[in-house]
Structure 1
Amino acid sequence: MNTHAAPPPPPPEPHEMRTDNSAGPGSVVGIQASVVHNANVYQISATDPPEKKYRTGVRYLEDGVPRKAEELFSEAMADGLDTAEVRFHWALSMFSARSDRDLTKDERARLTTAAERFVAHEDDEEYGPALGAVRELIIHRLDPSAEGIELAEKRILALPGALRERSLRHLDKVLSAATKDNVWANTKKQALLERHSGSRGHRVWAYFEADPAGPRARPAQLPHIAPGERARIAAGTLLCALTVGYLGWLTLSSAAPVAIVAYALALAAAWVTARNAFEWRYRVKRLRWEEQRRRASAANGGSDGRGFAAGVTRSFEFYFSKYRPRDHEKDWWLAETAGLRTYLRDEIVEIYRESHVSLANVVWLIRYHAIDVQKQWRAGTIDDHKVRFQIADRTKILCVLGLTILLLTVGCVIQNALQAQPAGAAVATFLAVAGGLYTARKWHRVASGRRHYIDDLYDEGRRREGRENEFRRWTQRLKDARPSEEEMETWLRSDTTILIADALEHFRISWRDVISYAVLRVPTPSASRAQERNGPLRYNSYALRLFLITEDGVREVSKVLNFETGAFNSEERNTFRFDAVSSVNVVKGADGRQNLRLTLTNGPTRDILVTKGQDLELAADDLRNPERPDTDADVEPDNPLDTSLDTTGFAPTLRILEGIAADGKNWIARGNY
């Protein structure tokens, strides 16, 4: 059992609650979320100045990608930036995460040649002493002299704090066992301090969250008016006005006071009736539409398949299930909100269905609506549309009263007009009634569409405002919580140090007993993954495998690391002799998957997953923040396979196991391990 794991942090606020290593919305068996942060930390092009190449190389070195760092340092020196600082970091990148045995003949020759040139830079006040110490170490490691190595390592231990720590960290595999034993207590103590520093348990989750797509809302649609409709409405209105005017002229010509008053009352009653009847009918239809929208079935939003729309559907079901009201069953809540989910789902699919927007970029919005609907339900405002479009008693009374007065007064006006001009009044009455009904229907359709548009504009504004507020809150939350690459690498390096410390303690050995070692850091099958653009892939769950090589054989320890909390579990230990290793080979799949196959003479063949094809596909696709423009076309993405293998510790592990499989214990006698 691991005794160094800190207690798990308290649960985050509801908006950020996560389910570790479980199948979330849209997930399939295998590695889960794929996130690429579009930061500029690792972006470099051939035309960049050497200073930028050097700074980017330092970033790669400190973040666990030394081979890429060495490449950039070499380019910077070739471009004219040849200083003690650059050469010092170049030397560290050559030795970082590998031993003498891992160096090729060409690399050894380059180191020997470079060491001779270091002398010219050793007068540098800041980096000169460090460069001199590394020069001596190179000379005596490649042409071993116990006394010379000891003096070189003493010079390294005498360096100022930051340079000393950096040198010890990157020269770890070429330092003598005696020196490592001397500094091991401090190394372990530092790892324990750094392992949970910076509120790790409350922040790592943010690294695996995608950058949110900007807030959008489906725009309200202007009502469609068919071609010629306006002309027909104008013609009907004109006809109605002429006929009503003609009846008014007949009424005035008759000089009958009662008929004149009735005509005036009829006009007023017609206005009041039309206004309130429209309001009544519109509210009834709008309320019916709102109810239908909320009660519609969610069956049409299929969740089968792997497309964006299917993923959005599954995400809505997942988050509405997760953030349902207390004391209510999942099935009841999903049925209760089926129509509303379908409406929101269709809107999000419509406004975000673009090639550069992935499901991960809109999960924040889906989660927001799931929580918002639950809050509305608890506050009793989920049906506030019933209050908003409720028909007032005043509207009903005015409509009925106006219609009653209209019918009574119109009868009086028509009777008076027929007495004055029977034929003309009859024709005018017929045209007024027919034209009025026709025009009223046309006007109602146009006015209703316009009113619907105004109400939709109001709803759009409310949705947009809520989403913008949540976007600002969530973006700031991610900005405050998301760890830097340096922090992520520091935590992982500290976890690895504690893994080694536990193994040394368990097997009761010291560094003086360890001839060589290798650590393989690979993701678990259910791990979420993320990376800065062109940076190393990082996971929220690792399978760490340590190989300690001693005179007595190989000690192997494997543990599963929950990277978000720093807790170890599922520990396995194995010990086998040198002659027990029958063969070691790498099995490569067509999709980029790589397995390290270890065969023991007294046991079954073991396949150790190193990289998955999905990992390489993710890095090659280089998903970007959908709200940012593409980067400069001159910026070339790194080879994802090289970067991935560099950070797993695959190369040194393979060389050690291949050497043991080929030579057995004689591998030790050959030296250069």
Structure 2
Amino acid sequence: MTEDGDRYDIDNQNIVSGNGHVDTQIGVYSVYHDATIYTVDKGDRPERKQEVALAYLTGGVPRHAEELLAELVFNGDPSTERAYYYVLSVLSERGFADLTSRLVSGIRDARKICDSLPQDRWKQALHVVWQILDHVRSDDGGASFAAVGAFGRLPAERQDEITTHLAMLVDGLVEQQLNAERKHEVGAERFSRDRVLRARLFFEPDPAEPVRYQPRMLLGETGDRRPVIVGGLLALVSFIGLFFGPVTFSLVAGVLLVVAGCAVLGRYGIEHTAHLLNVALRRDTEKAENEPAGPTAVDKLVDRCFREARPEYAAEWSRYAAGYRTRLKQRFNAQLRFDDPDQVKKHKWLLDWHARRVAVQWPHHDRYGQPEPTAPGGARLWQAAGVLVAVAGVLLLLFGAQRWQAIPLLVGGWFAVPGLVEVVAAGRAALLPLKEANEVFDEEMAEFDRWRRELRDRPTDSEMARWLALDKAHLKAEALRAGNITERDLVSHVVINQWKPGGRLGRVHHGPPRYTDYKVTVILLTTHGVRASQGYLDFLTGEIKDTSWDTFGYDRIASASLRVQEKAAYKRPGKVRNRLFTLRLLNNHEIITVDERLDIEDDTKAADESELERLAAATSGMDAALPVLEAVAHQGSAWITLERDRRTLWSRTWST
């Protein structure tokens, strides 16, 4: 339990920037999908308008759905299905105080239209909705039995729709009766359709195909090659001159020793020098041309991917993966436009794969994850042995075979052999990164094909909305259970979900934002007082963490304030208007704070950005919560009586 001083900050502020579509928010890694499920034009066929309306209704934006369905039902294209969903859209996210006589009249007209059409499953479902509303209105036990029984005979999909959209109207007892008849168990159903495996795919952008990487070759400037060339010519002429004269055993033995020594020296000298050059390449941290001095979008994404891939208990992970991170940053800063976030995000799958690839090797080093390659064993000793053998051969030629050409041969070889070794080693050092890059590219293409196949199972926006609705229902049920609150004591409730800092955003065109992490506040208004609980929802796994709660009586509420503030927009001109609601207790502590953005004054971007704000507010539960919280704050415990009076007034309106 929290103390009165604890504060529930319900902040629905989403400052966004972008041209034509919203894909970047403060602190939010966002993904934008080009689906058209929320796109409709005036000239579209009725079937298309119905499809978009149902997407809005399922997606948690009932007011948009209500507008489209009203046009279909009352303007010449009615059907039992459209009438059923129109009634649900009107009732969704509304309490008794929100159901005006105009809305009730629209519901009744839709039912009359439905009654005039042939009997089918949609007409039956609307009849069940009507029975439930009649039961709520009359509070008749017989009507309750009939309504609940009819509800139990509906398919599971219709049951889920009705309980979701009538949540603000039915009281705790009726809700308990309906839940007892549901074919889907909320606690289990919220993990249905492989949610744990599929939900994360919604927040992944469509992948870009990998590009074969050409490693940079910064081996430094080569020195003056004239001594090498002159030395090589001198050694060659001297070697040929050895054979002008009698052929003796000392001559043959000396030549063989010189050739063998040079061969050993070249063999291991090339290997060792190639290793040193390869190390120099891997240590290269020179930035690409025109790359900014500060961290780029590539740098930040690489670091994020490696943080997320960090193995458990890997205290040395950052140091272990430092070399690999550096090379990935160099590669993708060179390959991509590091100032284009969209282009960078499309390669996130590839950076994730590289990070997982290194993590699999923890704590065992591999040739890709290792900061530097291992030096060849014994190369220096073999080089020394080669020098000694070659010198021994030169001495044998000079003193045994009496060949003075051995002296210029030694001098020329001293300059020629190291230069030749360096040239050959540089070629090998250049081929090794290319070979590794080609091997990695083949693996990247295989992963690209696999990842595209996996993304075909990406959940739809409707599935995301359904999982979130089930999560909210589960959190409400858990709050009731934890508070030992009976259904008869529950008068009303609100559930508010908002983005948790650090979470990622996913959104389809014109659709509401979805997040990987939510902060969820459940406020239960009972006959005895208020219980407010808050927790953090990991949407990808459905896990709820760090739950806290507070209870207080209506008489402890001191005041409520609602004011409009102007705030400067983030990193661009213009101002943002916010509606700030605060509920304060007698001890002057702010127990609940709601910060909701209203609009934006920058007309050039208002269309897309204000749309996102409206959709975020609608799907967060803010629109439904604010009127209830204001009424509770101003009226105290008298709110319960007034709420029942509103129900009575609505009942009369319903009956007329």
The two structures have a TM-score, normalised by structure 2, of: 0.67
Q: Give runs of aligned pairs for residues 224-243 of structure 1, distance below 5 A.
A: none
**Are the structure 2 counterparts of residues 386 and 653 from structure 1 closer, same or farther at C-alpha, using a change threshold of 3 Å?**
closer
Task: Give the Cα separation in 2 of the matches to 1:514 and 1:380.
Answer: 60
Residue 84 (structure 1) aligns with: 80
SS of the residue 1:646 aligns to? helix
> Could you tell me whether the CA contact under 8 Å between 1:316 and 1:370 is conserved in 2?
no
SS of the residue 1:642 aligns to? helix
Q: Give runs of aligned pairs for residues 256-655 of structure 1, distance below 5 A.
A: 256=245, 258=247, 277-291=265-279, 307-308=296-297, 311=300, 315=304, 318=307, 330=316, 342-351=326-335, 353-355=338-340, 356=342, 357-358=344-345, 364-365=352-353, 367-368=355-356, 370-372=358-360, 374-377=362-365, 385-386=373-374, 391=379, 401=389, 446-465=423-442, 485=461, 488-501=464-477, 506=483, 508-511=485-488, 514-524=490-500, 526=501, 528-533=503-508, 534-548=511-525, 550=527, 555-563=530-538, 564-566=542-544, 569-577=547-555, 580=557, 582-585=559-562, 587-588=564-565, 590=567, 591=569, 595-600=580-585, 603-610=588-595, 639-655=611-627
Residue 654 (structure 2) aligns with: none
SS of the residue 1:183 aligns to? helix
Q: Which amino acid aligns with 1:118?
A: C
Question: Residue 491 of structure 1: CA displacement?
Answer: 4.4
Question: Residue 123 of structure 1: CA displacement?
Answer: 0.8
Residue 6 (structure 1) aligns with: none
Summarize deviations over 1:619-639 as a string: whole Å, max 9, x none.
x99xxxxxxxxxxxxx98982
> Could you tell me whether the CA contact under 8 Å between 1:263 and 1:410 is conserved in 2?
no
More helix by share: 1
Summarize deviations over 1:175-221 as a string: whole Å, max 9, x none.
57774453243459832342555676777667667777765674234
Summarize deviations over 1:156-190 as a string: whole Å, max 9, x none.
63763243442343233345777445324345983
SS of the residue 1:377 aligns to? coil
**Are the structure 2 counterparts of residues 349 and 388 from structure 1 closer, same or farther at C-alpha, using a change threshold of 3 Å?**
farther
Task: Give the Cα separation in 2 of the matches to 1:344 and 1:280.
Answer: 31
Task: Give the Cα separation in 2 of the matches to 1:177 and 1:218.
Answer: 62
Q: Which amino acid aligns with 1:84?
A: T
> Could you tell me whether the CA contact under 8 Å between 2:321 and 2:369 is conserved in 1?
no
Task: Give the Cα separation in 1 of the matches to 2:455 and 2:101.
Answer: 47
Task: Give the Cα separation in 2 of the matches to 1:394 and 1:324.
Answer: 42
Question: Residue 532 of structure 1: CA displacement?
Answer: 3.6
Question: Residue 658 of structure 1: CA displacement?
Answer: 3.1
Task: Give the Cα separation in 2 of the matches to 1:409 and 1:79.
Answer: 111
Summarize deviations over 1:33-73 as a string: whole Å, max 9, x none.
63426373745353765544433433432343323433554
Task: Give the Cα separation in 1 of the matches to 2:232 and 2:515.
Answer: 75
SS of the residue 2:214 aligns to? coil
Residue 12 (structure 2) aligns with: none
Question: Residue 454 of structure 1: CA displacement?
Answer: 1.1
SS of the residue 1:521 aligns to? strand
Matched, 1:102 2:98: yes
Quick one: which of 180, 187, 190 aligns to 1:185?
A: 180
Task: Give the Cα separation in 2 of the matches to 1:508 and 1:339.
Answer: 57
Question: Residue 98 of structure 1: CA displacement?
Answer: 1.6
Task: Give the Cα separation in 2 of the matches to 1:78 and 1:265.
Answer: 109
SS of the residue 1:386 aligns to? coil
Residue 171 (structure 1) aligns with: 166
Residue 220 (structure 1) aligns with: 215
Residue 57 (structure 1) aligns with: 53
> Could you tell me whether the CA contact under 8 Å between 1:65 and 1:647 is conserved in 2?
yes
Deviates more, 1:470-479 or 1:648-657: 470-479
Q: Which amino acid aligns with 1:283?
A: E
Residue 130 (structure 1) aligns with: 125
Task: Give the Cα separation in 2 of the matches to 1:510 and 1:383.
Answer: 62
Structure 1 residue ranges without an equivalent (≥5)? 2-29, 299-303, 418-428, 622-634
Residue 154 (structure 2) aligns with: 160
Task: Give the Cα separation in 1 of the matches to 2:632 and 2:320.
Answer: 64
Summarize deviations over 1:564-604 as a string: whole Å, max 9, x none.
32467212222315x95643425555256654312456754
SS of the residue 2:35 aligns to? coil
> Could you tell me whether the CA contact under 8 Å between 1:219 and 1:460 is conserved in 2?
yes
Question: Residue 295 of structure 1: CA displacement?
Answer: 7.9
Summarize deviations over 1:313-353 as a string: whole Å, max 9, x none.
7558857975676xxx64xx766775565445544554453
**Are the structure 2 counterparts of residues 154 and 543 from structure 1 closer, same or farther at C-alpha, using a change threshold of 3 Å?**
closer
**Are the structure 2 counterparts of residues 193 and 498 from structure 1 closer, same or farther at C-alpha, using a change threshold of 3 Å?**
same
Question: Residue 435 of structure 1: CA displacement?
Answer: 9.9
SS of the residue 2:560 aligns to? strand
Question: Residue 641 of structure 1: CA displacement?
Answer: 0.9
Quick one: which of 63, 69, 73 aligns to 1:67?
A: 63
Q: Which amino acid aligns with 2:297?
A: F
SS of the residue 1:127 aligns to? helix
**Are the structure 2 counterparts of residues 335 and 600 from structure 1 closer, same or farther at C-alpha, using a change threshold of 3 Å?**
closer
> Could you tell me whether the CA contact under 8 Å between 2:135 and 2:143 is conserved in 1?
no
Task: Give the Cα separation in 2 of the matches to 1:499 and 1:366.
Answer: 37
SS of the residue 1:173 aligns to? coil
**Are the structure 2 counterparts of residues 559 and 278 from structure 1 closer, same or farther at C-alpha, using a change threshold of 3 Å?**
same
Task: Give the Cα separation in 1 of the matches to 2:209 and 2:484.
Answer: 54
Task: Give the Cα separation in 1 of the matches to 2:170 and 2:507.
Answer: 32
> Could you tell me whether the CA contact under 8 Å between 2:242 and 2:403 is conserved in 1?
no
**Are the structure 2 counterparts of residues 240 and 381 from structure 1 closer, same or farther at C-alpha, using a change threshold of 3 Å?**
closer
Task: Give the Cα separation in 1 of the matches to 2:63 and 2:73.
Answer: 16
Question: Residue 113 of structure 1: CA displacement?
Answer: 4.8
Task: Give the Cα separation in 2 of the matches to 1:55 and 1:136.
Answer: 27
